[in-house]
């Protein structure tokens, strides 16, 4: 689901990566909010808070919200830089380094849960960087078909496509719409499931629930590696 690019990428690949990463994003979203009371998977709300604090001449508070936005941007920037560098050597492995970095951030942040009261802004910036990294990676890998860290644009597209069901009547158009709606529904469902599980586990694990997200990401890498090796083995056996 990670390594297939371009023409070799299928709807099933996008469905799998969307479900996996949306679940992680939902988990991070709830864990981040419960721990530091900040949005940690998107920056839309932070723009409003930034403007509000600057208007009230609370420049330091405004600067903190600016940092949130900046770290999400830096995550996206770093992901693309890594992808561009690695793709010049072997594009099949462009996803490994960003996913490892993201899982490492979640793991380290989860272990540092006791610092939430002392350094809430550092934790928020770390998670926003990780989500910027993830959103950029999945956008590139899926050809801009999948985004997983926030639902605003997703619900906009979903509303448009649901309305199109009343007007597009050909079998090809219906099939395309059904596939797209199913993909978006999977993202919403996985994001919601990740959030619910995060909320349940947070009462016992606190910020260590992020370690669950790190484990899931690494399981995705292992699954992708094993499946790729199985495919190569089958090809050799049929030669």
Pairwise CA distance, residues 4 & 15, whole Å? 13
> Does residue 148 contact residue 22 with C-beta atoms inside 8 Å?
yes
> Does residue 110 contact residue 207 with C-beta atoms inside 8 Å?
yes
Residue 208 domain-assigned (yes or no): yes
Pairwise CA distance, residues 75 & 41, whole Å? 11
Residue 90 domain-assigned (yes or no): yes
Residue 37 domain-assigned (yes or no): yes
Considering the chain, what percentage of its residues have pLDDT values greater than 90? 35
> Does residue 26 contact residue 198 with C-beta atoms inside 8 Å?
yes
28-34 mean pLDDT:
92
Number of domains the chain is built from: 1
> Does residue 110 contact residue 208 with C-beta atoms inside 8 Å?
yes
pTM, to two decimals:
0.88
Residue 79 domain-assigned (yes or no): yes
Give the range with max mean pLDDT: 24-33, 86-95, 160-169: 24-33
Check whether 6 has a pLDDT greater than 60: no
Pairwise CA distance, residues 142 & 71, whole Å? 23
**Is residue 2 very low, low, confident or very high in pLDDT (cuts 50, 70, 90)?**
low
pLDDT at 5: 62
Q: Which domain holds residue 181?
A: 6-237
- List Cβ neighbours of 174 (8 Å cut-off, separation of 6 or more): 165, 168
- Maximum separation of any 2 CA atoms in the chain, in Å: 71
Length of the chain: 239
28-54 mean pLDDT:
88
**Is residue 196 very low, low, confident or very high in pLDDT (cuts 50, 70, 90)?**
very high
Residue 1 domain-assigned (yes or no): no
Residue 113 domain-assigned (yes or no): yes
More confident residue, 11 or 209: 209
Q: Give which of 120, 188, 129, 177 is closest to 153, Cα–Cα.
A: 188
Q: Is 216 exposed, middle or buried (0-12, 13-18, 19+ CB in 10 A)?
A: middle
Residue written as tokens 């992708």? Answer: 224
Work out the end-to-end distance of the chain between its first and last CA atoms, rounded to an integer number of angstroms.
25
Check whether 7 has a pLDDT greater than 70: no
């Amino acid at each position: 689901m990670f390594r297939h690019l371009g023409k070799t990428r299928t709807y099933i690949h996008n469905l799998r990566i969307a479900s996996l990463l949306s679940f992680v994003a939902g988990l991070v979203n709830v864990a981040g909010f419960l721990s530091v009371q900040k949005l940690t998977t998107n920056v839309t709300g932070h723009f409003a808070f930034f403007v509000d604090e600057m208007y009230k001449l609370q420049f330091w508070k405004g600067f903190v919200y600016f940092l949130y936005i900046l770290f999400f941007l830096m995550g996206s920037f770093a992901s693309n830089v890594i992808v561009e560098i690695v793709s010049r050597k072997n594009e099949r492995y462009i996803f490994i380094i960003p996913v490892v970095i993201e899982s490492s951030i979640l793991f380290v942040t989860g272990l540092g849960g006791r610092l939430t009261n002392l350094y809430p802004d550092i934790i928020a910036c770390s998670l926003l960087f990780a989500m910027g990294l993830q959103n950029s990676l999945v956008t590139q890998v899926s050809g801009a078909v999948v985004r997983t860290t926030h639902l605003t644009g997703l619900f906009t597209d979903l509303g448009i496509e649901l309305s199109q069901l009343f007007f597009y009547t050909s079998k090809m158009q219906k099939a395309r719409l059904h596939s797209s709606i199913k993909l978006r529904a999977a993202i919403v469902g996985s994001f919601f499931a990740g959030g619910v599980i995060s909320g349940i586990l947070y009462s016992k694990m606190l910020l260590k629930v992020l370690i669950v997200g790190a484990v899931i990401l690494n399981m995705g890498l292992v699954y992708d590696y094993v499946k790729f090796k199985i495919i190569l083995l089958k090809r050799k056996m049929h030669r």
